[in-house]
Amino acid sequence: MKIINEDLASLKKLVQSKTQQLTDLKVEAAVRDIIANVIANGDDAVRDYEKQFDQVELTGFKLPQSAIDEAYENLDKDVKDALLLAKRNITSFHEKERATGFIDAEQAGVLRGQKLMPLNRVGLYVPGGTAAYPSTLLMSALPAKIAGVNEIIMVTPPQKDGINPAVLAAAKIAGVDAIYQVGGAQAIAALAYGTASIPAVDKIIGPGNIFVATAKKQVFGQVAIDMVAGPSEIGVLADDSADPRQLAADLLSQAEHDQRARPILITDSPKLAQAVSDNVTSQLKVLPREEIATASVNEKGFIAVVDRIEDMFELMNTVAPEHLEVQLANPTQYLNLIKNAGSVFLGRYASEPLGDYVAGPNHILPTSGTARFSSPLGVYDFVKRTSFIQYTKEALAKEASAITTLARVEGLEGHARAIESRFDTYYD
């Protein structure tokens, strides 16, 4: 893993250049065509794309409930217990995110307030392919359940040998209402616009490949989306108190996700930097996903050595990583220096995979530097807010002049007359 010793300004430029996500115009065009075809031809288009991309011929998309129940009943006990533990911790964390509306009646004759309502139907995209993610299903569905969403449907790419049983069991554990065997951009189009078989949703949640991410971006506006997710990222801040073997393992835990994943270590210790680099090299040799992780480490990863702990945080705030580990002595004392991060892991025993699976905070996080302005998925992503107002005639009279003055400043005479029609002055 390459080690970089440069001044802070140069390192910031390096980080910013690596964070930029270039639009793939060929993918954009291909996805646009897929969406248009699904809008025009519905189930037939989806069925054709599944045959073309997943090499699976489907007569129907909806998975029978019996298949879901069977997967749950036959699941290995240790896997089932782990999923149930994850559910308990995810639920207990996200229940604390519940919010309520408010009513303000402090002014005489004035009632103002805000009403919170859950979304009616949401769609969860659960990736298939080389890796199955039952944990992502739990992270998507459970906050929606807590928010009170009326219906949760799931799409996942069909597999020749069947959908991973752990994914199906997780769907049952999380209370998913229906599962459809469809993936890729065609699944996103079906969720956004609906087909004869797949109902349209109000919001689409969940990560996927570049085609899925691009499709989510293109259907935004027709439906809401959680985010346009990029490759996984881990940023680690460490000093001499950290164990280089553990740091290397944590960096590789994200590098194995994707060749474009970003593993970054920032330290003030040249000795630690070299030890971590050496450990990454040796651990890669025995990692089952060696090829993927090696490409990530070589093309996207680096170790930066800076002079001060404050510089470490300043540089990492520029990275704005999806996951941030703080492996410093007394890590909690530095919380106020963290400005941009999706999820923060404090200390040696808060390894990033803890957050991926059972700790409770959501692992669907902002990527590609968007932690500068975005947040982890939560209950608040599944509710909408509506304000309400009620005035008595007397209360309106006190503010009528200000309203009509502002309306006429803006050239909106009709606005002013609408207020004046409540009183003696009225224009026919």
Hey, what domains does the chain have and what are their CATH numbers?
3-21+231-360 (3.40.50.1980), 25-225 (3.40.50.1980)
HEC assignment per residue over 150-194: CEEEEEECCCCCCCCHHHHHHHHHHCCCEEEECCHHHHHHHHHHC
Residue 401 reports pLDDT greater than 90? yes
Task: Tell how far CA 320 is from the center of its chain.
Answer: 15
Rounded distance between C-alpha atoms, residue 266 and residue 236, angstroms: 6
Rounded distance between C-alpha atoms, residue 89 and residue 86, angstroms: 5
Mean pLDDT of the chain: 94
Six token digits for residue 12: 């910031």
For residues 360, 361, 362 and 368, what is the CA-based torsion angle, rounded to 10 degrees? -140
* 21 — pLDDT class (breaks 50, 70, 90): low
Looking at per-residue pLDDT, the higher value among 15 and 111 belongs to 111
Looking at per-residue pLDDT, the higher value among 210 and 239 belongs to 239
Rounded distance between C-alpha atoms, residue 233 and residue 254, angstroms: 6
pLDDT computed for residue 55 by the predictor? 87
The pLDDT tens digits of the residues spanning 126-173 come to 988 656 789 999 999 999 999 999 999 999 998 888 899 999 999 999
For strand 151-156 and strand 121-125, is the pairing parallel, antiparallel, or unpaired? parallel
For the purposes of burial, counting CB atoms within 10 Å of the CB of 82, is it exposed (0-12), middle (13-18) or buried (19 or more)?
A: middle
- The stretch 49-78 carries a mean pLDDT of 93
Based on its alpha-carbon atoms, the radius of gyration of the chain, rounded to whole angstroms, reads: 26
- The stretch 225-254 carries a mean pLDDT of 95
Q: Provide, for the chain, the percentages of residues in helix, strand and coil under a 3-state DSSP scheme, each rounded to the nearest 5.
A: 50, 15, 35
For residue 220, list its beta bridge partners: 223
Looking at per-residue pLDDT, the higher value among 314 and 228 belongs to 314
pLDDT computed for residue 427 by the predictor? 55
Q: What's the predicted TM-score (pTM) here? A: 0.92
pLDDT computed for residue 225 by the predictor? 97
Backbone angles phi, psi at 359, to 5 degrees: -65, -40
Catalytic residues: 322-323
